[in-house]
Amino acid sequence: MLKIAQIAPLYEAVPPRLYGGTERVIAHLTDALLVQGHDVTLFASADTETGARLVPMRSQALRLDPNPLISDIASHFAMLDEVRRRRDEFDILHFHTDLIHFPFFEDIAERTLTTVHGRLDLAGLDDVYKRWQRYPLVSISDSQRKPLPNANWLGTVLHGIDEHLFRFTPAPEARYLAFLGRIAPEKRVDRAIAIAIQAGVPLRIAAKIGNVDHDYFDRQIRHLLNHPLIEYIGEIGDADKSEFLGNASALLFPIDWPEPFGLVMIEAMACGTPVIAWRHGAVPEVMEHGVTGFFADSIGSAAEAVRRIGEVDRHTVRHAFERRFTAETMAWRYVQLYKQLLRGRGEIHPDGIAPAAALNASGPGHPRNDSVFVGSEAI
């Protein structure tokens, strides 16, 4: 049993009530670690729902706080101070807070693991990761690493979700396409609309409009929603996703940016719903062309993929999810990295580390894939 602190951002509850990727992954990871017998403490907002020991760091998530004048930096600094005060209670401090904790835990960097959840092609990041080189990092896809190949990468762990959360739907009740996520320039809901219109298939859009994207929505998207094939239903939470995704013929994921992972793809796959996506970022690491969906590089090729979507077997899509993207598998991979850090500090006997044969199996009952790399060695 390991004593693990999971440190979440405070922007959303864990899991989020509606849209939110990072906090949702933390919820699945925390629950899976508990099932595997570990002692987990979660630092998060008080509106979090978890079986772990919760340390509430503010009364509610920042995005849902009605006060318009909030310092997110102050909230996160207060949390980091509490984590530092209690640091000796844990074997591993697992941070999901981007890089904000780097100046505060440098003296115990070898006791930390930092999962990087965002894009890394931003100016200035290279200097920061060079400055704080001691922190062991985990990427959520191999593609995410490309802008910073020389950072201190300990491993790549693809996301996973609770395999019981989403209901498998072998035969959708309605014929429509689904778009789920954010309405933002890089997510290209405009492409999704064009695909649906060209294919002649209805599109249902369940998406968040963030504060920074309202102008984009008003100027470039709102008028597109007037087409009779297009329906905008707003944000939805996990409770509504099985019906929304499961009854869709396909999920459209026509992104225009280096997506670090794309959680909605595996949520769709959990329902048995194939994905039609542009080959950007982590997409080729998550889905397989012709097996779990189709890649596209134009509106026309995506519309053709819509017409061919019946060639994809929905049972095969669900099986691919179960084989690679469950929370159990994700947690198992993280535990191997935790143990590697402990072994490096001489705090765990080598026999406590899974043998190479087990590591190469990529988790209990799961065939090996390319989801985890430690140093230059595939796990």
- pLDDT tens digits along 125-182: 999 999 999 999 999 999 999 999 999 999 999 999 999 999 999 999 889 999 999 9
Q: 61: closest CA among 7, 13, 9, 8? A: 13
CA distances from 294 to 269, 306, 313, 336, 372 (A): 13, 9, 12, 33, 24
The pLDDT of residue 358 is above 60: no
Give the neighbor-by-neighbor strand order of the sheet with 177-182: 230-232, 203-208, 177-182, 250-253, 275-278, 293-296
Q: Looking at residue 355, what DSSP letter applies?
A: P
Separation between Cα atoms, residue 140 and residue 189, nearest integer Å: 24
> What is the model's pTM?
0.88
Residue with tokens 């959840």: 117
Q: 177: closest CA among 307, 296, 289, 282? A: 307
Separation between Cα atoms, residue 252 and residue 278, nearest integer Å: 9
Q: Looking at residue 378, what DSSP letter applies?
A: E
Q: Which residues of 110-134 are buried (b: 16+ CB within 10 A; e: fewer)?
A: ebbbbbbbeebeeeebeeebeebee
Mean pLDDT (the chain, rounded): 90
Amino acid symbol at 259: E
Collect contacts of 123-128 with beta carbons under 8 A, ≥24 apart. 125/99, 128/99, 128/102
Amino acid symbol at 168: F
> Which of 84-88, 104-108, 300-304, 340-344 shows the lowest mean pLDDT across its residues?
340-344
**Strands 250-253 and 177-182, bridge-based pairing:** parallel
Distance of CA 60 to the CA centre of its chain: 22
- pLDDT tens digits along 62-97: 988 888 888 999 999 999 999 999 999 999 999 999
> Which of 4-13, 155-164, 314-323, 361-370 shows the lowest mean pLDDT across its residues?
361-370
State the Rg of the chain over Cα.
21
Q: 81: closest CA among 57, 112, 98, 110? A: 57
Beta-carbon contacts of residue 303 (< 8 Å; ≥ 6 apart): 195, 198, 199
> Which of 111-115, 131-135, 320-324, 372-376 shows the lowest mean pLDDT across its residues?
372-376
* CA angle at 201 for the pair 196 and 204, rounded to the nearest 5°: 70
Q: Is 4 in a helix, a strand, or coil?
A: strand
Q: Containing H/E element for 145?
A: helix 142-145
296 close to 276: Cβ distance less than 8 angstroms: yes
Residue 347: the pLDDT is: 60
- pLDDT tens digits along 253-305: 999 999 999 999 999 999 999 999 999 999 999 999 999 999 999 999 999 99
